[in-house]
Amino acid sequence: MTVPDATASPKESDAAPRASWRESIAVYLQPRVLIVMLLGFSSGLPLALSGSTLQIWMKESGIDLRAIGLFVLVGTPYTLKFLWAPLVDALHIPLLTRRFGRRRGWLVLSQLLLIAAILLLGSTDPVKAPWLVALGALLVAATSATQDIVVDAFRVESLPESEQAAGMAGYVAAYRIGMLVSTAGALFLVSAFEGTGLVRASAWTWGYVSMAAMVLIGTVTALAATEPEQSVQAEASTAAQTALTRVMQAAVGAFSEFLSRKDAIAALAFIVLFKFTDAFSGSMTAPFVIDLGFTRNDYAAIVKGVGLAATLIGGFAGGFVARRYSLAASLWIGGVLQALANLSFSWLALVGVNQWALAVAITAENFTSAIGTVIFVAYLSALCRNPLHTATQYALLTALAAVGRTYLSASAGFVAEATGWPLFFAICVVAAVPSLILLGWLQRRGHFAGLQM
């Protein structure tokens, strides 16, 4: 493997004069970047509602750990979203497309459907109707995946190259904040509702109702945004085509263009595996903390406090790395850091119930995961540059990335039960090795030479 020297591998474009620190900060205040950040929050909000937050609800309801682990399979829509992404690229939504445009019309529709799905999930009972819970979680994942399709295309198409790094850093930081709101924020709300005298089932329902209301932040953002110029031009270029022709063009073009590239299969395998170490450990983090003896509020307080700070700092640190170093070097930095962070949970498992140890572990996980995610998003964005099928191609790549989170991570509960928590998180570190081997191979093959962030 060829491991780059991070201290001597600045991006080729860094030969140009560097922006001052004031200019670096000012770019985050650009309207387009702010819009992308708010949409990032909207994208990050639903994921935990069918994931870690739902797992805690199920754990408190007495559901078996193995069943909780298998519940990650409701994330299947995140891995299959490329199948309906061509519809998002090509079809018009009656009234909404004409009023708001190609991307914004789909944004508004997906968010309204998402609100309805969250309300349905919140009204279920994990003990009395587990299959209805699974259906509600599946619908949340499906509508959330549809929103992701549109937001990703909107982000790639709306940001000029000078704002891409800032946009990606802001997007990921806001995405993580959205996840924190739907984990720590939701848990605090459930406890607050219980404190008013509501029974636990009702408290969880109102917690999910509150999260559904938070989706409106993304809806207001979509209404206030401007349709990307690239999308307007692409729409105009296909105006004379039938809906079926546009769908086929988006579907076939996205696949054929990517597969015609050198080492496309190896690149796809790398995309599947890069975040696997994160996903495998993350699928068990919430049950681990509760199983260790921490309370729901202990977990929520740490995640909301130091976890939020670590996420913000990590997101912007990832943006700095993406601007400062080559794409390959950045991926090495992110990949190694997010793998090693799992050892902090092995240490926590040995220490036991200790607030400071929990804070250190959550900080390490959030900080390194945010760095890795920003750099990974930069890589995926660099692969998708054709506005005729941006949504489809990006959805294909992110769907493959979700394979690790959904299918490969489904066995995490069984592994944790068989090995115990300290060894489980050590195994999570080893899970990063295949992606790093592929990264070195792709680097030697010159895969990253033609890609720009």
Task: Give the whole-angstrom CA distance, residue 362 versus residue 341.
Answer: 9
For 133, 172, 437, the CA distances from 147, given in Å and listed in that order, are: 21, 15, 33
Q: How many CA atoms lie within 13 A of 104 on its CB side?
A: 21
146 and 395 in contact (C-beta within 8 Å)? no
**Residue 320 CA from chain centroid, whole number:** 19
- Residues 137, 124 contacting (CB under 8 angstroms): no
The DSSP H or E segment spanning 367 is: helix 355-383
Contacts with 403 (C-beta within 8 Å, 6 or more apart), sequence order:
79, 272
The amino acid sitting at 21 is W
Please work out, in degrees rounded to the nearest 5, the angle formed at the alpha carbon of residue 399 by the alpha carbons of 167 and 77.
115
Pick the residue with more confidence: 161 or 259?
259
For residue range 373-407, list pLDDT tens digits in order: 889 988 988 888 777 778 888 888 887 787 766 67
Instruction: Give how far Cα 102 sits from Cα of 121, 151, 153, 239, 284, Å.
Output: 29, 12, 11, 12, 38
Distance separating the N- and C-terminal Cα atoms of the chain: 23
Q: Compute how many other C-beta atoms are within 10 angstroms of the C-beta atom of residue 440.
A: 16
Reply yes or no on whether the pLDDT at 371 is more than 70: yes
DSSP-H helix ranges across 28-158: 31-44, 52-60, 65-70, 76-80, 85-90, 96-100, 102-122, 130-158
What would be the CATH architecture of the domain defined by 21-444?
Up-down Bundle (1.20)
Written as six digits, the tokens of 385 are: 């540059």
Which residue, among 109, 286, 302, 139, has the nearest Cα to 208 in the 3D structure?
A: 139
Round to whole Å and give the CA distance between 422 and 410. Answer: 19
Arithmetic mean of pLDDT, 216-243: 82
List pLDDT tens digits, range 68-88.
777 778 888 888 888 898 888
Q: For residues 278 and 22, give the distance between their C-alpha atoms in angstroms, rounded to a whole number.
A: 33
Residue 271's pLDDT is 92
Residue 101 and residue 232 in contact, taking contact as beta carbons nearer than 8 Å: yes
SS3 268: helix
Of residues 188 and 404, which shows the higher confidence score? 188
Sign (positive or negative) of CA dihedral 311, 312, 314, 319: positive
Cβ within 8 Å of residue 42, ≥6 positions away:
111, 147, 151, 178, 215, 217, 218, 219, 221
Please indicate whether residue 390 or residue 428 has the higher confidence score (pLDDT).
428
